[in-house]
Amino acid sequence: MTHPNILFIMTDQQRWDAMSCAGDWVNTPNLDRIAAEGVRFSYCITTTPICIPARVTLATGHYPHNNNVWDNIRYAMPEDVKTWMRAIRDLGYRTSMFGKTHLHPHTGDLREREHLINAYGLDDVDEIGGPRASAAVMSHMTKMWEDKGLLDSYREDFRERFANKPHVARPSVLPLEDYADVYVGQRAKEWLEAYDADEPWFCWMSFGGPHEPWDAPEPYASMYDPEAMPAPVPRPEEDIPRPKGWLDRMMERWTPNFDPGDEGAMRANYAGNVTLIDDQIGEVLAAIEARGEMDNTVIGFTSDHGEMNGDWRLIYKMNFLDGSLRVPLLVRTPETAANGGGKVVDAPAENCDLGPTLLELAGGTVDYAQFAKSLVPAMENGGTHREAAISEYRGEFMVTDGKWKAAVNTDGQVYLLFDLEDDPRETRNLAGLSEYAAQSDEMRLRLLERVSETQFQSGVEWRPPV
C-alpha cells in the first residue's frame, strides 16, 4: 500500500467565517483552493472553546469530561498517552511539528521539552508558544528574536497593550519576516524542501495566529478597511427570567469598553492576520508542488476555537456562541482533487474528528477508546456525519444539531437556547420562555444522553472543574 503524505494545518482562534469560501470579509485563496479540491464541513464545532482542553481533545479524542482538563490549567499530556499522531508514525511515517501545540505547560524553555512532543508521536519538532506565551517562554523562535534584539521590544509592546486597552489593533513591533506566523510557515516549508527520507511524511503546521493581540504586521495590518468589516452581532437586550451561566458572568465582568471604530479595527487587523497565514500556506503548497507530491498529499485544516471579535460586545472565546464555538474544517485528498472537490457537508462535526480522519486516510485505524469520529464516510457519501455536536467548558455543556442549540449551566439548567434556522446570528435567547420549554427539555435530554454515553465508555471518574 502506498501511504499518502499528510499536511495538517492548524490555526489558533480562527472563526469559521474567516475564510472567503465561508464568509465575504477575508481573502484566503489558498484555503479556498483546499476547499475547492476537497470537502468543507460548514458546521464544525470546537469540543471546548479554549486552547488547552481543545488541543488535548483533538490529540486524544477524549472530552474534558473524560480527562478533567476543563480550562487553561497547568497540564501536560502523559508521555504514554495514545494519540492519532503516534498511530500515524507507527504506520511508517516520518512526522514533524512546527508551531504551537499547548499540550504541555508553556513555561520555561520549550526546547527542553521536545521529548514530550516526540513521545506524542512527532519526530522533528520546532515548537513555539502562542502570542501571549512568547513574551515569557523561550523557544528557537524567541531565541532568534533575542539574538536580533527584538525580544525586549516584543515584551514591552505586549505589556503595554494589556495594561491599557487589550483589544487595541496596531501592527506588531516585529518585522514581517520575524513574525511568529511567518516563522511557522517558513520552518515547515524548509523542512519539506529538504526532506529526502524514504518514508512518507506527516507535517503539522500549527500557527499561533490569528489569536489576539490584534497585531498583524504591515502590510497586512493595513490590508483591510475597518469600515468595510461586517458589523458584530449585537448583544440582545432581554428581560426574560431564566437560569444564568458562565456567559452571563463573562458579560458582567469582562465586557470591554469599546471606543467608536474599535470593533472594525479589530476585525480588519484579524482579517490581515488570517490572510498572512493563508499566504504562508500558499508557500508550503508551492513547495509540495515543486516536489511533485501534490497528487499524493492529504491536507487537513482546522482551528482550536473561534474569536468573538466584538460579537455580543465580547472579545476572546470561552463561551458557546458561534463566534467562539464554530471553526473551519477542510479535508482535501488526492481523490477529492481528481474527482471534483468543492463538496460542502452541512451536518454537525467536531474539530477533534480530523484526527481519526487523517489516520484513516493514512491507512490506519484508531485502536483505542476515544470519541472522535472519522469524516471519511461523510466525505464519500455526503450524508450525516453526526446527528449533533457537543462542546463543554468549566462544567457547562452545549449541544447543537445545526437547527437548535442549547447550553446548560453547572446545575444542569438550560440557560441558552437558540432556534438557528430562524435566528442564525443568535440574537434572541429563548431559554426561560414557557412556549419553548418542551424544546429546551428535548435538547437537555439529548445532551445528557450523549455525555452519559461517552462518560460510561471512557471509564474515567468525572470530576467537576475546580
Tell me, what CATH number does 227's domain have?
3.40.720.10
Cβ atoms of 413 and 441 within 8 Å: the answer is no
- pLDDT of 72 higher than 80: no
Cell 434556522 belongs to 421
Percent of the residues in the chain that have a pLDDT greater than 90, as a whole number: 90
Question: Does 423 map to a domain?
Answer: no
User: What cell was used for 143?
Assistant: 531565541
User: What cell was used for 28?
Assistant: 484566503
Cβ atoms of 18 and 210 within 8 Å: the answer is yes
* Mean pLDDT over each residue of the chain, to the nearest integer: 95
- pLDDT of 461 higher than 60: no
Percent of the residues in the chain that have a pLDDT greater than 70, as a whole number: 97
100 vs 82: CA distance, rounded Å: 19
Question: Burial level of 4, CB count in 10 A (0-12/13-18/19+)?
Answer: buried
363 vs 53: CA distance, rounded Å: 28
Nearest 5°: CA angle at 255, between 250 and 229? 115
- pLDDT of 278 higher than 90: yes
Tell me the mean pLDDT in the region 450-457: 79
Residue-wise burial string across 284-309, b where 16 or more C-beta atoms lie within 10 A, e elsewhere: bbebbeeeebbeebbbbbbbbbbbbb
247 vs 317: CA distance, rounded Å: 10
SS (H, E, C) 165-190: CCCCECCCCCCHHHCHHHHHHHHHHH
Cell 465586557 belongs to 255
User: What cell was used for 42?
Assistant: 460548514
- At residue 340 the predicted structure's pLDDT band, cuts being 50, 70 and 90, is confident
Helix or strand (DSSP H, E) at 46: none
121 vs 85: CA distance, rounded Å: 5
Cβ atoms of 102 and 139 within 8 Å: the answer is no
Residue in 250, 253, 245 with CA at minimum distance from that of residue 415: 245
Question: Does 219 map to a domain?
Answer: yes
- At residue 16 the predicted structure's pLDDT band, cuts being 50, 70 and 90, is very high
Question: Does 181 map to a domain?
Answer: yes
Residues 6+ apart with CB under 8 A from 299: 6, 7, 8, 9, 34, 38, 330, 331, 332, 333
Question: Does 37 map to a domain?
Answer: yes
Residue in 109, 295, 286 with CA at minimum distance from that of residue 188: 286
Residue 456 has what pLDDT?
Answer: 52
Nearest 5°: CA angle at 197, between 335 and 334? 5
- At residue 454 the predicted structure's pLDDT band, cuts being 50, 70 and 90, is confident
For residue range 396-441, what is the model confidence (pLDDT) as tens digits? 999 999 999 999 999 999 999 999 999 999 999 999 999 999 999 9
Residue 258, domain extent:
5-387
Question: Does 432 map to a domain?
Answer: no
Question: Does 427 map to a domain?
Answer: no
The domain total for the chain is 1
Q: At what angle do helices 354-361 and 51-60 cross, to 10 degrees?
A: 30
Question: Does 417 map to a domain?
Answer: no
Residues 6+ apart with CB under 8 A from 140: 111, 126, 128
54 vs 105: CA distance, rounded Å: 14
Residue 75 has what pLDDT?
Answer: 83
Cβ atoms of 200 and 92 within 8 Å: the answer is yes
Question: Does 148 map to a domain?
Answer: yes
- At residue 68 the predicted structure's pLDDT band, cuts being 50, 70 and 90, is confident
User: What cell was used for 31?
Assistant: 484555503
309 vs 403: CA distance, rounded Å: 24
For residue range 311-325, what is the model confidence (pLDDT) as tens digits? 999 999 999 999 999
Helix or strand (DSSP H, E) at 446: helix 437-458
Tell me the mean pLDDT in the region 321-350: 95
What does the DSSP assignment read for 260-320?
TTHHHHHHHHHHHHHHHHHHHHHHHHHHHHHTT-GGGEEEEEEES----TTGGG--S--SS
Region of 201 please: left (phi>0), alpha (psi -120 to 50) or beta.
beta
